[in-house]
Structure 1
Amino acid sequence: MPAWADAGGNVVICVKNSGKFTTRYPTVEFQEAAHLDEGGIWPAPYALQEGSPAGEGKVAEVVKAAAS
């Protein structure tokens, strides 16, 4: 599955195929290195039901936050 790492080599984000993992939807998952924590809760996986401009915008927004 595709994954991206930060400058230190820590995986920040990965994409999981629904067929390979027998899940309902493919997911975009963020690891601890993404630093998306907000108190005691933070987003880890997002299910991707379908491609749409709104969905793509949300994923891009979270990826930019994870990369900063």
Structure 2
Amino acid sequence: MGEQQGGFSDDERAAVAQRAAELRSTKGLKGAARLAKELEACAAAVEALEGVDREVAARLHVLVAEEAPQLDPKTWYGFPSYARDGEVVVFYQPASKFGTRYGTVGFQQSARLDDGPMWATSFAVLEVTDEVEARLRELVRRAAG
């Protein structure tokens, strides 16, 4: 992560600035125009990635389209994300965003993954194998439920 200043790292401040830019880019847009702009931004976020980050994000994009087409692609703090009624359900946080060891597929509160008193909401992904893809498909399907 970048330098700490005022409680936030440089990377964290950049993510907040990115989120503000995302909100400005769709201000005043409604319906199909807003969805098209958000889809374009999501696709661009995936395309901007490299290596494993790009592979995972691209595969997640396809899996969401196939398993949960009711979720709308968008970006969220620069992450490729998928939302229901404007609320993010699932997203990919690339390792390159904060210089971490691995990227994660994460699920927000609106994801329907509840399983007793405790459940995982974030999954490290080092590569997309058949087993990983099958697990992600199942998680996305449940989350979008």
Matched, 1:41 2:118: yes
Q: Can you give the 5+ residue segments of structure 1 that lack an aligned partner in the other structure?
A: none
Larger Rg: 2
Matched, 1:32 2:138: no
Q: Can you give the 5+ residue segments of structure 2 that lack an aligned partner in the other structure?
A: 1-78
Number of corresponding residues: 67
C-alpha RMSD over aligned residues = 0.9
- Bigger relative CO (Cα 8 Å, ≥ 6 apart): 1
Q: Which runs of 4+ in 1 moved over 6 A?
A: none
**Aligned-residue identity in percent:** 39
Letter of the structure 2 residue corresponding to residue 44 of structure 1 = T
**By percentage of residues, which structure has more helix?**
2
How far, CA to CA, are the matches of 2:100 and 2:121 in structure 1? 16
Tell me by how many angstroms 1:27 deviates: 0.5
Tell me by how many angstroms 1:19 deviates: 1.1
Letter of the structure 2 residue corresponding to residue 30 of structure 1 = F
Residue 5 (structure 1) aligned to one of 83, 91, 97: 83
